[in-house]
Amino acid sequence: MLYLSTIVMKNIYKIRLFILLCLGIFLCVACLSSCTNKSDKETGCVMPDLRPLSLDSLNTCKTPITIDVNLPEGEYTVIQTQERFNQLVTPSQCFTPIDFSKYELVIGKKQLSSNLSDLGYELAQSCESNLLTITLKKGRLTIAPIVVYHLLIPKSNIHPTVKTEVIDL
C-alpha cells in the first residue's frame, strides 16, 4: 500500500499537469469556437423579408405572359423604373403594370441546347448581398430556345446578383 501511495505521490504532479493541459486545450477550443463575426443585432443589420414574386402571379389576363428583353444572350439586368422597363422590355398585349415603387424586376436571357423542362428560383439573403440563383432544367427535345427569365423582388438597398445554372435531365 505504501508503494502505491508513493507512486501516486510521484506522479501527482504529472496527473495535475495533464489535467491542467486538458483544461487549457478545452478552454482554447471553446474560446475560438465562440469567436465569430458580429451578429446582425450588433452591426445593426436588419434584413428585409424579400419574397420574390413571379410576373405570372400578377397576371390578370387569360393568356400567359410573354416577354422579350433587349439584352444580349447570357446577360441580366435589374430594372428599377418604368422608363428603363419601357426601353428594354417588350411585353405581351395583355400585361399587368409593375409597381416599381415596391419592386425591382430581375430579367435576363439564357440560350439552351435543348428545350426548357423546368425553371426555378432561389434567393439567398445576407446583410451584404442578395444572390438570386436561376435554375434552368433542360429537357430532351432538340429545340434550342432562348429563355427569358424574370422575377420581381421587393425593393432593397442591396441589389441582387444573379447566377444561372443549367441542369441536364
Position 87 confidence tier, pLDDT thresholds 50, 70, 90:
very high
Look up the pTM and report it: 0.66
| Domain spans, the chain | 2-31, 55-167
Q: Is the per-residue pLDDT at 146 higher than 60?
A: yes
Q: Is the per-residue pLDDT at 161 higher than 70?
A: yes
Q: Which residue has the higher pLDDT, 58 or 42?
A: 58
CA distance 33 to 36: 7
CA dihedral 117, 137, 124, 87 (to 10 degrees): -70
